[in-house]
Amino acid sequence: MSSSVSITLARPADARDIAEMSRDCVETGLGWSWTPPRVLHAIRDRATNVVVARGGAGELLGFGIMPYGDQRAHLSLLAVRAASRGQGVGRELLGWLEKCAVTAGLEGISLEVRRDNPGAVEFYRRCGYELAGTVPGYYSGVLDALRLAKTLWTPTGQPAD
C-alpha cells in the first residue's frame, strides 16, 4: 500500500461518501440499504468501528464497518474504490478492524459475502477467512450469501495463527 494512504476512524461528514460507495460497489442490483443515515448511525455507535482509507489529498479510497459483540465481531461492509484495488488497501482496512477485535479479546470474526462475488471470496480467503456455510436469500431474498469466518482465539485460549 502506498505510504500516502492513511487509515483512520470515519467522521460524521464521511457518511454520504461511504453510503454512496456501498451503493455503487457492494449493493449493486440489491437496492440501497446502507443509506447515509444508517452509516452515520454506525459512525456514532460506540460498539461499531467505521474505518476509512484516504489518499494524499484526503479523498476516500475505501472503508469498512465492523460492529463488535461480547464474543465475536461481524464485518458488515468492506469496499475499496475500483481505481485503488489490488494495492493492499482492502487488506490494510481489514487488518485495522481485526486488530481492534484481537485487542478486545474477541473469539472471531464472521461476515457474509455475495455468492456471485468470487473475487471478494478469494480476497477473504487470502486474509485467512474460511467457508462457514451458505445463507439462501440473505440479500433481499433474491441472492445467496456465503458465510466466512476467521478464528482469533482457539477454545484453549491460545491465539490462532
Ligand X SMILES: CC(C)(COP(=O)(O)OP(=O)(O)OC[C@H]1O[C@@H](n2cnc3c(N)ncnc32)[C@H](O)[C@@H]1OP(=O)(O)O)[C@@H](O)C(=O)NCCC(=O)NCCS
* Residues contributing to the site for ligand X (CB under 6 A): 25-26, 77-80, 85-91, 113, 117, 119-120, 122-123, 126
Nearer to ligand X, 138 or 153 (CB): 138
Nearer to ligand X, 144 or 153 (CB): 144
Query: Phi, psi (5° rounding) for residue 12?
Result: -50, -35
Per the CB < 8 A criterion, the answer to whether 48 and 38 are in contact is: no
Q: Is 103 exposed, middle or buried (0-12, 13-18, 19+ CB in 10 A)?
A: exposed
CB 66 to ligand X: min, Å: 11
CB 18 to ligand X: min, Å: 12
CB 158 to ligand X: min, Å: 25
Cell of 139: 440479500
CB 62 to ligand X: min, Å: 7
Nearer to ligand X, 43 or 120 (CB): 120
Nearer to ligand X, 128 or 153 (CB): 128
Query: Phi, psi (5° rounding) for residue 137?
Result: 65, 20
Per the CB < 8 A criterion, the answer to whether 74 and 23 are in contact is: no
Per the CB < 8 A criterion, the answer to whether 92 and 123 are in contact is: no
